[in-house]
Amino acid sequence: MSSSVDNVLGNTSLDRFDVVIVGSGAGGGAAARVLATNGLKVCILEAGNNYFRGLDDPDTDMPRPLFSNDELKLSSRGLIEQQAIVEPRTFRALGAQVDRQLVGEVNNLPKTVGGGWVHADMQCPRFNDFDFHLHSELGDIAGASFADWPLDYDELEPFYAACERLQGVQGLAGADPFASRRSGPYPLPPGPPMYVDSLLRGGAERIGLHPFAFPGARNSRPYRGRPACNDCGLCSMYGCPINAKGSVAMLRDALLTGNVQLRYNAAATRLLVDSSRRRVTAVAYLDADGNPAEVSGDRFLLAASAIESARLCLLSGLGNGGLGNSSGLVGRNLMFHHQTISVGIYREDFHGERGRSVTGGFSDFRGVPNDAQRPLGGIVEFGTNSEKIQEAATYMVELGFRGAALKQFLRDRPLGAHLAALIMQGEDAPQLDNRIDLDPAVRDINGLPVPRITYGTHPFELAAREYYGPRLIDLHGAAGAQFAFVAPINEGGATPSSRHIMGTLRMGSDPRTSVTDAFCKFHDLDNLYSADGAPMPTSSGYNPTLTLQALAMRTAGAIVDPARPESVIEGDA
């Protein structure tokens, strides 16, 4: 089954496809698994390269990743990152009367087989019950476009459970008193807490909070053919050298069915439609050598991540009042998480290069809707620094130390081994005018218009920041920090630094106020679906990937069995 053809994984002999998926990341992999295990023939187009040797090889030793504990390769030089020098994005602040204020990197996610889920640190909380009907809870908020989801938590629950089971999420049911109901325990117990986690947990408990072992899709025991995580420390921003993360677990299941052909180094450039203008017939793409190619199929799933999926629609003439966009909403309601990050400096050495980036946190600050006393914030992660080059560059490039003073910082490591971070994933209120469109002039190296991000912060996020920021500082004090402060809002003054990207193809039951329907199918097209973070009407205050995967599985399930999508999750694998 294992392919020997360059730039292709899976069954190379397939040439007719029931479904074509653009993007092999978190959402695309989840959808592919449901489709392929139910016998549908799937072609996946992936813009990036493959670093999982033998991903389609059934041998139990496989895959053997080419990742490593190598900061230069993964983090500084960006092996799997979208390289902004050839694929820039542009940014302008909401309200700025200019075409753009920045050309370069704007909230990029990796381009590689497995997508952003490869270098993620795999935090996997579920959203809360009330996240699915926030508009009803909050009412109208000026300048924001909160909306209820066209489904509720209970409908998504079986898909959450399946995602956890198939990827191997570790966690402890009941440990988070604010979490919504679960149909069963986590498939794996929590792994060992990092030293920084133990200290911050103590601080959190001392000020009356409810910390817990953060759920995450990394094996804490050998599971489904993958080894247990040995806590090598270089986790966030790194592909896993031993494949203990669940990054490509579902993608591999899909490939092993024999029903999938994954073409990588293949970047989709346009969706082609028939004369009815209600059906997509093919996707045009650039192959590994940059030559144009096409693949046709019966149905099409966009899973290129919220910004790139919306860009592909716009490149295809969907949007701008055109095809597939009677609502005029393609690209709008773009959301990130508004991270409030409180930095604590401790005399303790946290040796962050041991552990798995984040092992603990709490969700007390997610709050409850309409509590006049407390705004809606987000789940909080306990983190520290594990990267040495990046730490040194902070002293050298950003802070400008030289000579003996620099040596003192390099040895004392105040912003490295002695730094603990509390990261609140604050809800980002949706706004119509926070959006991606095509930059009117800037092109990528292939000559295609790049995505332009227009974004402004809403008072909703700032209220949570103001309220919880000082509490995060106090937590550091209770945990033994010598210094603590809240880091400034934006790295580089552009968008929030979060790589949680949502919105742009909002789902809803009314075609006038949404782009996609309750099963993430485009209202205006008969065979085009969204299977990444794009359909989410609201961002919630939890890491989004498990939820976008559950949605993608449900969409794929509905393609297989529209009446009972939850009955086909397991398929035949």
Partner 1 sequence: MRVTRRRFLGLVGATGAAGLWWAPGCGDDDSTTQVAHFFTSDERLVVEDMAAALVPEDDLSAGALATDAVELIDRFLAAFDSDPPAIFGGGPYSGRSPFPDPRTGMPTNDYPDNDFTEMLPLTRMQELAFRILLDGDAAVTNGTINTGIVPPNPGLRAIYRDGIAALEQAAQDAGAASFGELDAEARIAAFATTTPDFRGALLQNLAEGMFAAPEYGGNRDRRGWLDYDYDGDSQPLGYTLFDADSEPFDRPDKPNQTADPNRPARPFSPEVERFLTAITAAQGGKRFF
Ligand X SMILES: Cc1cc2nc3c(=O)[nH]c(=O)nc-3n(C[C@H](O)[C@H](O)[C@H](O)COP(=O)(O)OP(=O)(O)OC[C@H]3O[C@@H](n4cnc5c(N)ncnc54)[C@H](O)[C@@H]3O)c2cc1C
* H helices present in 38-119, as ranges: 71
To the nearest 10 degrees (0 to 180), the angle between helices 545-560 and 153-167 is 100
Q: Should residue 214 be labelled a site residue for ligand X when binding is judged by CB under 6 A?
A: no
Residue from 42, 209, 237, 558 touching ligand X (CB under 6 A): that is: 237
Selection from ligand X, partner 1, none that 119 binds (CB < 5 to 8 A by kind) is ligand X
Select the residue interacting with partner 1 from 12, 14, 54, 64 (CB under 8 A): 64
Q: Assess contact for 355 and 233: CB atoms under 8 A.
A: yes
Find which of partner 1, ligand X, none residue 462 binds, CB within 5 to 8 Å per kind. Answer: none
| Smallest separation, CB 112 to partner 1 (Å) | 10
3-state helix vs strand vs coil in the chain, percent to 5: 25, 20, 55
Which is closer to ligand X, CB of 100 or CB of 311?
311
Q: Of all helices (H) and strands (E), which one includes residue 249?
A: helix 249-256
Pair of tokens at residue 184: 């069963």
Number of residues that bind ligand X (CB under 6 A): 39
Q: Is 541 helix (H, G, I), strand (E, B) or coil?
A: coil
How near is the Cβ of 84 to partner 1 at its closest, in Å?
8
Closer to ligand X by CB, 123 or 339: give it: 123
Nearest distance in Å: CB 23, ligand X = 3
Q: How far is the CB of 412 from ligand X (least distance, A)?
A: 27
Q: Which residue is nearest to ligand X (CB)?
A: 25
Q: Give the shortest CB-404-to-ligand X separation in angstroms.
A: 34
Candidates 48, 355, 383, 426: give the one binding ligand X (CB under 6 A). Answer: 48
Which SS3 state, helix, strand or coil, does residue 342 take? strand
Q: Report how far residue 411's alpha carbon sits from residue 307's, in angstroms, rounded to the nearest whole number.
A: 41
Q: Say how far apart CA 308 and CA 314 lie, in whole Å.
A: 10
| Residue 28: CA count within 13 A, CB half-sphere | 34
CB 141 within 8 Å of CB 429: yes
Q: Which of 304, 484, 494, 568 binds ligand X (CB under 6 A)?
A: 304
Which helix (H) or strand (E) segment holds residue 204: the answer is helix 195-206
446 touches partner 1 (CB under 8 A): yes
Contact between 267 and ligand X per CB under 6 A: yes
Q: Which residue has the tokens 């119509």?
A: 432
Query: With CB under 8 A as the contact rule, which of the stretches 169-177, 247-255, 285-293, 360-368 interacts with partner 1?
Result: 285-293
Q: What is the SS3 assignment for 460?
A: helix
Nearest to 47 by CA among 121, 89, 109, 2: 109
Q: Is there binding between residue 382 and partner 1 (CB under 8 A)? A: no
Q: Residue 554 is which amino acid?
A: R
Tokens of 400: 């400008």
> By CB under 6 A, is residue 303 in contact with ligand X?
yes
For residues 469 to 508, the per-residue mask of contacts with ligand X, x marking binding by CB under 6 A and - elsewhere, is: ------------------------------xx--------
Q: In what order do the strands lie in the sheet with 292-296?
A: 267-273, 280-286, 292-296
Q: Kindly tell me which residue out of 47, 199, 232, 473 binds ligand X, with binding defined by CB under 6 A.
A: 47
DSSP 36: H
Nearest residue (CB) to ligand X, 537 versus 544: 544
Name which position in 116, 191, 541, 565 contacts partner 1 (CB under 8 A): 191
Q: Taking Cα atoms as reference points, which of 269, 303, 310 lies closest to residue 454? A: 310
By CB under 6 A, tell whether 305 contacts ligand X: yes
Choose the one of ligand X, partner 1, none that binds residue 476, judging by a C-beta under 5 to 8 angstroms depending on kind.
Answer: partner 1
Can you tell me whether residue 292 is helix, strand or coil? strand
Distances (CA, A) of 346 to 44, 341, 343, 539: 47, 16, 10, 33
Kind plus residue range of the DSSP H or E element containing 165:
helix 153-167
As a whole number of angstroms, the distance between CA 160 and CA 547 comes to: 7
Our finding on whether 385 is near partner 1 (CB under 8 A) is no
* Binders of partner 1 in range 71-130 (CB under 8 A): 71-73, 76-77, 79, 83, 85-88, 103, 111
**Residues in 55-114 at the binding interface with ligand X, rule: CB under 6 A:** 109, 111-112
Q: Nearest approach, Cβ of 379 to ligand X (angstroms)?
A: 10
Q: Does the footprint of ligand X cover residue 119 (CB under 6 A)?
A: yes
Q: How many CB atoms lie within 10 A of CB 371?
A: 9
**Choice between 47 and 421, CB closer to ligand X:** 47
> Of 127-135, 205-213, 286-294, 512-520, which segment contacts partner 1 by CB under 8 A?
286-294
Provide CB contacts within 8 A for 299, sequence distance 6+. 18, 19, 20, 527, 528, 529, 559
**383 near ligand X (CB under 6 A):** no
**3-state SS assignment for residue 354:** coil
Position 447 contacts partner 1 (CB under 8 A)? yes
Q: Which residue has the tokens 């986790």?
A: 235
Which range, of 271-279, 325-333, 396-404, 424-432, touches partner 1 by CB under 8 A? 396-404
Report the residue number, 133 or 499, with the smaller CB distance to ligand X: 499
Q: Which residues between 239 and 278 bind partner 1 (CB under 8 A)? A: 241-242, 265
Residues that bind ligand X (CB under 6 A): 22-28, 45-48, 109, 111-112, 115-117, 119-123, 236-237, 267-268, 303-305, 308, 312, 499-500, 532-533, 543-545, 548
